[in-house]
Chain A
Amino acid sequence: MGIILALQDFFYALAHQSFLLNALIVGLLAAVAGGLVGPYVVVKRIGYLGGGIAHTVLAGMGIAYFLGASPILGAFICAIIAALIIGVISLNQADHEDTLISAFWAVGMATGVLFISQTPGYATNLTSYLFGNLLLTPSGLAPLLALVVAVIGALLLFVHKPLTAVIFDDEFARLRGVPTKALYLLLLCLVAITVVILLQAVGLIMVIALLTLPSALAGHHVGSLGKMMLFASIAGGAFVFIGMGISWVSDLPSGATIVLVCGVSYFFSLLLKRLRS
């Protein structure tokens, strides 16, 4: 009975409070972005790289915030620069990829913290960058993110075939004339862009959850990257919706609630898969 009343309350608020609907749309767009790019990340096992880029992004947000520019623009620029530098250095085998990621991760966060600390009004903003707060989503963000997600989808339609070949067996792909390095860098850029979209929903510390868990969960049940994308987008959307609902009616932080819904579902799915086999 209580649950139904609470649900009613949430739907009523969605219908009457435009900021809540706006927040939900941004959350769902984030879920679709994560669902499209996440399967590559899970199968190629570069989740740590996604986490690294997410944390590096604080530098871009901090600098933009300090300069009075748009933090999300700073985040996009910083994420792509970080992805390309990590990718190029790692392709040239100048150092191990995980060492590089660790360096970017910490240096990026440190840079961001310093810049934010020198800007008035620091505390609230830092928290929402780190942990996300969908309810504070600026109203103009949804159309921009919708455009970015549409571009990601269209791009993947073009490159999915050779990109899969690179992730599956890069040596064979290279023999077939596939530009393997360029495609790997493109994948890292897509991960970077996705990370920035996701951090609107759950904050940069927890980005990794929406980037990998819905896709990993999808991988438990379907047998191709395409199906994983569909499954992960729908599952991620459901987690965002449920998480937001719970956080709204119980007055809990939305980012953390969404991540917990995600995590519990993932472990449940893993258990289900174990029991079945």
Chain B
Amino acid sequence: MSQPVISLDQVSFAFGTEHVLKNVSLDVQPHEFLGLIGPNGGGKSTLLRLILGLLPPQSGQVQVLGTSPRKAASQLGYVPQFARFARAFPISVEDVVLMGRLKRGRMLLPWRRRDRDSITPTLKRLGIDHLRHKPVDALSGGQLQRVLIARALAAEPRILLLDEPTASVDRDGETTLFELFSELKREMTVMVISHDLGFISDYVDRVACLNKQLIMHPTEAVTADTINQLYGEQVQMVHHHH
């Protein structure tokens, strides 16, 4: 087995006295496509933020690409659940995606032609090349989501972390995106948070179920029992095999 790209060892985190993560351990392998599911408030986003180095663990160890999350940050691509910016911000799709290419050493002076051209394959891959000069204000929720994914991919990351990337996308769009993620795993490690277990189990290699504590499952083993264990009640499971 090769060196894991993400390694959490007995990680705990609490907001005040409210425990969000308890002794979570997790190893993610290179080129793995990992799904992370669990109820709201179960700590999914917090786990992602620990891996990104946006939060420090209160106990335990987080290692990313063999180093600290902060040092690894430039090699991570992050797609947040919600756009954190004002929708009315006067900026084009192209300029948003280019922000993924910011890094130490190419920070100052305006973008050059070469930089602008370099994101074209990413825009095409996500089917948003025709929107590149549109203001973000004019986009639909699904289009904006693709812009955020393109921004993360523009960084040419070794690990792609997505927080509910299909929340505002319709069913067809969701299928297309998950097919893209399965394709991307040849180039990088992909970790995606989802609320829709039945759907992601068709695509991911392993599912991590998180409700303060973390339980790993190979995809095939995800059953109604798993769900009950996780959510503690009978949950309607919907599979989408069409």
What is A's interface to B at a CB cutoff of 8 Å? Answer: 39, 43, 157-162, 164-165, 168-169, 171-178, 219, 222-225, 227-228
Contact = CB atoms under 8 A, between A and B. Distances in A.
A222 to B, nearest CB: 7
B104 A177 contact: yes
A23 B182 CA distance: 65
B74 A228 contact: no
A225 B91 contact: yes
B1 interface: no
Interface centre among B74, B85, B107 (most CB of A within 10 A): B107
A165 B99 contact: yes
B89 A168 contact: yes
A192 B32 CA distance: 50
A161 B109 CA distance: 7
15 contacts: A43-B86, A161-B102, A168-B91, A176-B74, A176-B100, A176-B102, A176-B155, A177-B73, A177-B74, A177-B107, A223-B91, A223-B137, A224-B91, A227-B90, A228-B90
Contact of A223 (B86, B92, B99, B104): B92
B84 interface: yes
B235 interface: no
A177 B91 contact: no
Given A172-B84, A176-B102, A222-B90, A158 B109 contact: yes
B104 A172 contact: no
A171 B54 contact: yes
Interface residues of B, number: 32
B109 A157 contact: yes
A221 to B, nearest CB: 10
B108 A159 contact: yes
A162 B102 contact: yes
A174 B52 CA distance: 11
Interface of B: 52-54, 73-74, 76, 78, 80, 83-86, 89-92, 95-96, 99-100, 102-104, 107-111, 135, 137, 151, 155
- Of the candidates A159, A177, A219, the one having the most CB atoms from chain B within 10 angstroms of its own CB is A177
A177 B102 CA distance: 8
Given A159-B108, A162-B108, A177-B73, A225 B90 contact: yes
Contacts of B52: 175
Nearest to A42: B90
Nearest to A159: B108
Nearest to A183: B107
Contacts of A227: 90
A216 to B, nearest CB: 11
Contacts of B53: 175
Nearest to B109: A158
B89 A172 contact: no
B95 A176 contact: no
A158 B109 CA distance: 4
Nearest to B74: A177
A178 B108 CA distance: 10
A175 B54 contact: yes
B191 to A, nearest CB: 15
Nearest to B98: A161
Contact of B90 (A43, A161, A175): A43
